[in-house]
Amino acid sequence: MNGFGIIKGMIETARNFVGSYHDAQRLTTVQYPEQKLPPVENARTIPFLVFDGDDAMAGLRCTACVICEKECPPQCIYIVKDQVKKPDYVGKMQMQPKVFDIDISVCMSCGICVEVCPFDAIKMDQVFELSTGDRFGKLLLDKHQLAKPNDYFVKIHKTEASEIDVRREEDKRKAEAAAAAKAAAPKSPATPGAAK
Amino acid sequence: MSASTLPSELAEPASDHQLLEVSLGPQHPSTHGVFRMDVSLDGEMVVKLKPVFGYLHRNHEKIAEKCSYLGSIPYTDRLDYICSLTNNWAYAMTVEKLAGLVAPERAEYIRVILSELTRLINHSALAGFLLQDMGALGTPLMYAFREREKILDLFESLTGARMMCNYMRFGGCRCDLPPGWIEQTRSLVANFPSFLDEFEALLTGNEILQARTEGVGVLTPQLAVNAGVTGPMLRATGVNYDIRKVDAYGVYGRFSFRVPLGERGDVFDRYMIRILEMRESLKILEQALRDIPAGPIIDPKAKLRNLRPKPGEAYGRIEGPKGELGFYLISDGGPNPYRYRIRPPSLINLTILEDMCLGQTIADAVVILGSVDIVLGEVDR
């Protein structure tokens, strides 16, 4: 019968309209500025730099190896190496960044910097609502703005961060054991050749 | 808008007619992005149609030639931004061919699952947009987007991003499925048919939709094959050509599914093909979610940084939701491709737009364009 299909369609619309009041499957949106959904664990927006301890600049894990700068597809990372070195978590002397800037107006949130970083120093943040009226200054983040503590990383990416923490703990233990063995070692042979 | 008189040999029989030239787009909301149609109208009839594109050109192919093999993957997301994961797959597959990598079985299953979910997203969104073009403002598109959101939530919990997933890598995938993901996907797949039934009850039997689509924009199989049209557009004309069946790439050979075919090649067939393909995708998803094996997700030989494939060339293609999506790469042994070329399904399917629109009314031209299913990110690159 002509017109029957339209009536059938209208029944569907009515069912959806009524359903949106009681069925969560039919009303999946939230009232955004008042209500916010928590981000999922894997969500990523822009990168940040992880630091250990309390002092952000002293505890930065970044060793200014510039792998991320080279691999970044839109080239939004800018790094200048420092002349001074500092010991990392296993006591090895490492470089540190003098300048570490990320232009988040260029960053496309792909996460390739995180993938290629061998030191777990750069990770993806979950902040959003980053809009600002200042187009040039506030969208260029320096290392002070990018540095965030490891606790924050653990908070947002729990699974990944705890795996990394366990691995670093292990490395540290091994390094300390190696250092202790090295400290103990020269005494036993007591030959000038072994001290080298 | 400008009125002009064509020379008499170009004009239709009644040569004293004035033709009206209308420029539809690039900001016209029904042109699916920044696409322009220069249409010459005789009254309401289209007598000439010239597609104009290039407004979204971003030099993707040249950038990829300056970028490492890894660095191009996030750019491929932005080709067809509704289906980023199938773009990832086509590119990863081509690099795998070039570098001689083999993705492990689990990764292949994950790829099949993700690309079929992407097909659901694309086809439901397309059906919504098509109806929007016909004047059903909002409702079908809203229902389609509601279901799309649920799939995007799955993508976000797996890849970290809703649209720019950047997930597949040459030799496998970037990370393993998070706990509970398979169960969530399974429940989504189980609920999806009820959405499709509802969607069809709303649309397929609707007399207005039938009147607007049946016999409109007919494409003959001969023209479709000659023009290189692929995907649902081609299958709507009745040509049985689906790369999932022809190449059986990945692990597609292991699933049983049918390829829906149209008869008349009009807009209604193109709409219907998409609905039927979604149902077949659900069958594939059920089988893949049941059979997915445990194991590694990336080839141990694959190295992401400093990949230098041996000199040579490779062409990889997959059945994207819009048609045959192919990547052609030439390596000269360096860290970036010597030549990088994409065969975008949207662009090739767009070439026959004029043939379908001639003799139709201007309102139908908009509907015909909607049924081609273009994404300008892919047309212009």
**ipTM of the complex model:** 0.80
Evaluate if residue B2 carries a pLDDT over 50.
no
Evaluate if residue B208 carries a pLDDT over 80.
yes
Strand order in the sheet with B2-4: B2-4, B19-24, B36-42, B45-52
Greater pLDDT, B343 or B207 = B343
Summary count for chain B: helices (H), strands (E):
15, 9
Q: Supply the pLDDT for residue B91.
A: 92
Determine which of A179-183, A186-190, B271-275, B288-292 has the lowest per-residue pLDDT on average. A186-190
Measured CA distances, B53 to A89, A173, B143 (Å): 55, 61, 30
* Cα–Cα dist B7/A184, whole Å: 99
Residue that the structure tokens 């001689």 belong to: B100
By CA distance, what is B67's nearest residue in A? Answer: A73
Evaluate if residue B3 carries a pLDDT over 80.
no
* Cα–Cα dist A70/A73, whole Å: 8
Per-residue pLDDT reduced to its tens digit, B282-292 = 999 999 998 88
Residue that the structure tokens 């190696």 belong to: A178
Strand order in the sheet with B339-343: B312-320, B323-331, B339-343
Determine which of A142-146, B121-125, B272-276 has the lowest per-residue pLDDT on average. A142-146
| Among the partner residues B166, B206, B305, nearest to A110 by beta-carbon distance | B166
What is the DSSP annotation of B241-255? --HHHHT-TTTGGGS
Q: Supply the pLDDT for residue B122.
A: 92
Q: Band of the pLDDT at B16, cuts 50, 70, 90?
A: low
Helix, coil or strand: residue B352: coil
Q: Which two tokens stand for residue B251?
A: 């692990």
CB contacts of A107 in chain B (<8 Å) are none
Q: Band of the pLDDT at A187, cuts 50, 70, 90?
A: low
The neighbouring-strand residues paired with A48 are A123
Candidates B58, B59, B60, B70: best to mutate against A (most CBs of A within 10 A) is B70
Q: According to the 3-state scheme, what is the secondary structure of chain A?
A: CCCHHHHHHHHHHHHHHHHHHHCCCCCCCCCCCCCCCCCCCCCCCCEEEEECCCCCCCCECCCCCCHHHHHCCCCCEEEEECCCCEECCCCCEECCEEEEEEECCCCCCCCHHHHHCCCCCEEECCCCCCCCCCCCCCCEECHHHHEEEHHHHHHHCHHHHHHHHHHHHHHHHHHHHHHHHHHHHHHCCCCCCCCC
CA angle B240, B244, B247 (to 5 degrees): 95
DSSP state letter for B17:
P
Q: Band of the pLDDT at B276, cuts 50, 70, 90?
A: very high
Q: Which two tokens stand for residue A152?
A: 């924050």
Evaluate if residue A1 carries a pLDDT over 70.
no
Question: Are B205 and A115 inside 8 Å of each other by CB?
Answer: no
Evaluate if residue B4 carries a pLDDT over 70.
no
Q: Which residues of chain A have a Cβ shorter than 8 Å from any chain B Cβ?
A: 2-6, 8-9, 11-13, 15-16, 25-26, 28, 40-44, 67, 71-73, 108-112, 115-116, 124, 159
Candidates A110, A114, A128: best to mutate against B (most CBs of B within 10 A) is A110
Name residues whose C-beta falls within 8 Å of residue B72's C-beta, 6 or more positions apart in sequence.
A73, B63, B64, B91, B337, B340
Measured CA distances, B185 to A38, A40, A73, A136, B338 (Å): 20, 16, 32, 42, 39
Per-residue pLDDT reduced to its tens digit, A36-86 = 888 888 888 889 988 887 777 777 888 888 888 888 888 899 988 888 877
CB contacts of B208 in chain A (<8 Å) are 6
* Cα–Cα dist B139/A12, whole Å: 11
Evaluate if residue A131 carries a pLDDT over 80.
yes
Q: Band of the pLDDT at B296, cuts 50, 70, 90?
A: confident
Question: Are A8 and B201 inside 8 Å of each other by CB?
Answer: yes
B90 closest CA partner among B73, B65, B70: B73
Q: Supply the pLDDT for residue A195.
A: 44
Burial of B354 (0-12, 13-18, 19+ CB in 10 A): middle
* Cα–Cα dist B56/B241, whole Å: 30
Evaluate if residue B7 carries a pLDDT over 60.
no
* Cα–Cα dist A107/A92, whole Å: 32
B21 phi, psi to nearest 5 deg = -95, 125
CB contacts of B178 in chain A (<8 Å) are 41-42, 159
Tell me if B53 sits within 8 A of B376, measured CB to CB: yes
Kindly report the pTM of this predicted structure.
0.85
| Among the partner residues A9, A16, A71, nearest to B203 by beta-carbon distance | A9
Q: Which two tokens stand for residue A99?
A: 């300048």
B residues 15-34 lying closer than 8 A (beta carbon) to A: none
Q: Supply the pLDDT for residue A196.
A: 41
Evaluate if residue A189 carries a pLDDT over 60.
no
Alpha-carbon dihedral sign for residues B138, B142, B145, B147: negative
Instruction: Give yes or no for B291 touching A (CB within 8 A).
Output: no
Residue B5's Cβ-side half-sphere holds a number of Cα atoms within 13 Å equal to 7
Burial of B133 (0-12, 13-18, 19+ CB in 10 A): buried
Question: Are A5 and B210 inside 8 Å of each other by CB?
Answer: yes
Helix, coil or strand: residue B38: strand
Determine which of B13-27, B79-93, B172-186 has the lowest per-residue pLDDT on average. B13-27
The neighbouring-strand residues paired with B4 are B19
Question: Are B206 and A4 inside 8 Å of each other by CB?
Answer: no
Evaluate if residue B11 carries a pLDDT over 70.
no
Helix, coil or strand: residue B267: helix
Evaluate if residue B247 carries a pLDDT over 60.
yes
Q: Supply the pLDDT for residue A132.
A: 85
Greater pLDDT, B28 or B224 = B224
One-letter amino acid at B371 equals S
| Among the partner residues B150, B153, B206, nearest to A5 by beta-carbon distance | B206
CA distance B281 to chain A (A): 21
| Among the partner residues B74, B156, B198, nearest to A112 by beta-carbon distance | B74
